[in-house]
Structure 1
Amino acid sequence: MLESDDDVPQLSSTTLAALQEFYKEKEDQENQLKNIGAEKESSNLTFDENWQLSQFWYDDDTVHSFVRGIKNSTEPTGKIALISCPTLYNEMKNQADGRQVTLFEYDQRFAIFESDFIPYDYKSPLSIPRELANSFDLVVADPPFLSEECLTKTAVTMKFLSKKKIVLSTGAIMMELAERLLGVTKCNFEPHHKNNLANEFCCFSNFNFDEAIHNK
């Protein structure tokens, strides 16, 4: 028995408008990605947080503080690794002043950064190019999950990539484990996010990152 057109479910005007808006936003973002890729620029590229990947972006003041601290902690020819903290990439890249910035990230949307992007899954902490061992002057990481497994495996990657200096951003509840795994201490600087999180976040380093942040 054939169904008539009257039997086919129809979307309400409100639902249809919302659906059209959703597809328009997706199309705009895809066009933005294409333009950025063609122009080799990232200054205006933005991504929505993906909460399923435990992505929570830093607020602007936190990004500026991180970038200032990173620049003051490295030479103009230095190499910087950003692990699971893509929210720092744009600002850091724009102010690199000759520094090499490499993003290690699970989210394939960031592959738009081409040679600056290396696919990374904390569950396989050493599934990265072997030639990168001990090649970064500063490694900054923000493990996506507040779990012993995630921090432990991310720490393996950090130590593999780092020459010496490391900075870790994670929940305060991970302090004891962070100190034990990485020999870091808590900074006075506290990272903040655009969307307020219930968990208290801290910054840890194995050098005086606070001083680097406050130097102009």
Structure 2
Amino acid sequence: MSDSDDEPITLSSHALEALRAFEAEREEHQAKFQKLQAEAESNNSLLSIDTFAEDWNESQFWYSDETANTLATELLRDATSDMTIGVVSAPSVFVALKNILRSKSDHEKPKLVLLEHDNRFGVFPEFSFYDFQQPVKLPGHLKGSIDRIICDPPFLSEDCQTKGKDLSHLNI
């Protein structure tokens, strides 16, 4: 072992500045998620999908607020508290549903289920992890329990679209 191996590792001032900026951004995101989790649990605050950055590597692209609200409104048309609405890989629609339902009384609200592979959405109690590679691997209580479903598979491949269809057939 040479003497140079014992020297402490140092970063340039530019690298240190970049590292500090990264850590500050990460802390800011963690604070936002903690706030979002508290808001999600209280069901009183208006939520925003903008809290979650789209991940293009995961083929995540959020609907515009207008589109998400239109889809959510259609899912809620004539829905009752005895119904369950499933949202698969469409978290912007889920957020729109939560926002619309926050002004309703409990006896007017259908149950919501968010099936999503992005664990960041675990801040919502309605979240269940979902993997399109295993479309029928779901918690037992969800099978056959969903009355309405919106499914936006993350990839346009035939395989992914077929697995989304298989999930829809399993749950309705």
TM-score relative to the length of structure 1: 0.65
Contact 1:74–1:138, Cα closer than 8 Å, also in 2: no
Paired residue for 1:105? 116
Give 1:58 deviation, angstroms: 1.1
Q: 1: CA distance between counterparts of 2:64 and 2:28?
A: 24
Q: Deviations along 1:30-56, whole A, 9 cap, x unmatched?
A: 122223334514734511111221111
Offset at 1:19? 2.9
When structure 1 is superposed on structure 2, of 41-50 and 150-159 the one drifting more is: 41-50
Q: Hey, what does 1:3 align to over in structure 2?
A: 4
Counterpart position of 2:168 = 158
The CA distance in 1 between the partners of 2:89 and 2:56, in whole Å, is 14
**Which one of the candidate residues 129, 135, 155 is aligned to 1:125?**
135
C-alpha separation in 2, matches of 1:29 and 1:8: 29
Asked if the contact 1:132/1:161 (under 8 Å) is kept, the reply is yes
Report whether the alignment pairs 1:58 with 2:63: yes
Question: What residue is the counterpart of 1:90 in the other structure?
Answer: 95
Is the 2:47–2:99 contact (alpha carbons within 8 Å) kept by the matching residues of 1?
A: no
Write the mapping of 1:67-82 to structure 2, written as runs, cut at 5 A: 67-72=72-77, 74-82=79-87
1:149 deviates by 0.8
**Cα displacement (A) at 1:77:** 4.1
The residue identity in structure 2 corresponding to 1:144 is P
Q: Structure 1: give runs of 5+ residues left out of the alignment.
A: 163-216
Instruction: Specify the code of the residue in structure 1 equivalent to 2:29.
Output: Q
Identity of aligned residues (%): 32
Distance apart, 1:16 and its partner CA: 3.5
1:145 deviates by 0.6
C-alpha spacing 1:6/1:147, structure 2 compared with 1 (3 Å): same
**Unaligned 5+ residue runs, structure 2?**
none
User: Structure 1 residues 11, 89: CA separation in 2 closer, same or farther (over 3 Å shift)?
Assistant: farther
2:54 aligned partner: 49
**Cα deviations across residues 105-144 of structure 1 (Å, max 9, x unaligned)?**
1111111113x01111011111112332332221000000
Name the aligned partner's letter for residue 117 of structure 2: Y
State the alpha-carbon separation in 2 of the partners of residues 6 and 125 from structure 1: 52
- 1:23 matched to which residue of 2? 23
Cross-structure match for 2:157: 147
CA distance in 2, matches of 1:144, 1:20: 33
Please say if residues 43 and 91 of structure 1, whose CA atoms lie closer than 8 Å, have aligned partners that are also in contact: no
Distance across 2 between alignment mates of 1:74 and 1:151? 26
The 10-residue stretch of structure 1 (65-74 or 15-24) with the greater mean CA deviation from structure 2: 15-24
**TM-score under structure 2 length normalisation:** 0.80
**Of Structure 1 and Structure 2, which has the larger fraction of its residues in helix?**
2
Partner of 1:169: none
CA distance in 2, matches of 1:33, 1:158: 30
